[in-house]
Amino acid sequence: MERISWNQYFMAQSQLLALRSTCTRLMVGATIVRDKRIIAGGYNGSVSGSVHCIDDECYVIDGHCVRTVHAEANALLQCAKFGVPTENADVYVTHYPCLQCTKQLIQSGIKNVYYAEDYKNHPYAVQLFKEAGVRTEKVELDYLSFDLNYKEKSQLIKELLEMVDENDSREFTSLKEKATELFKL
């Protein structure tokens, strides 16, 4: 078995962090890494102790949810809170950083930004990264090793299996047994 690459490993960590997000519009995770060691992680969510989007909807102003602290900012703030330097560190983010997070990442000394998905990549953010010498690289997660749509796929298989129950052929029975084992239904 081949080992997962460092980029895939750290991006998978960010995807796991995103699953903790409390914003219903977009789930984002960020992992800050220095010398191949995770130094902080964050996800987009409300200020500690405040109401969350999942509880009381997103608070949208000018097309942005203002209730949440972005994943990148939360990871940087975690470093600040515990006195962990971010100079020359890398960040792995599930989505291309917004303009505000771009400025924060640059100011904190991040040197490389790895992101899994494009998301409204602001031209000025792209320009700022270039001007600051911050390298950006798209790192798509290998979805064969990390499946973010497993719930939807499992539900689809359940529905298909119900349809198969209506057909008594051997071929369908065999496929049903394989699907039941594969998806642990």
Task: Please name every residue paired with 61 in a beta bridge, in sequence order, or none if there are none.
Answer: 64
117 is catalytic: no
| CA-based nearest residue to 79, from 51, 45, 44, 104 | 104
71-82 and 6-18 helices, crossing angle to 10° = 100
Annotated catalytic residue, options 2, 57, 72, 137: 72
Residues in the chain: 185
| CA dihedral angle for residue 49, residue 76, residue 58, residue 52, rounded to 10 degrees | -20
Q: Which of 50, 47, 55 is nearest to 24 (CA)?
A: 55
* Cα pseudo-dihedral 109, 38, 93, 100, rounded to 10: -30
Tally Cβ neighbours within 10 Å of residue 120.
11
Catalytic residues: 72
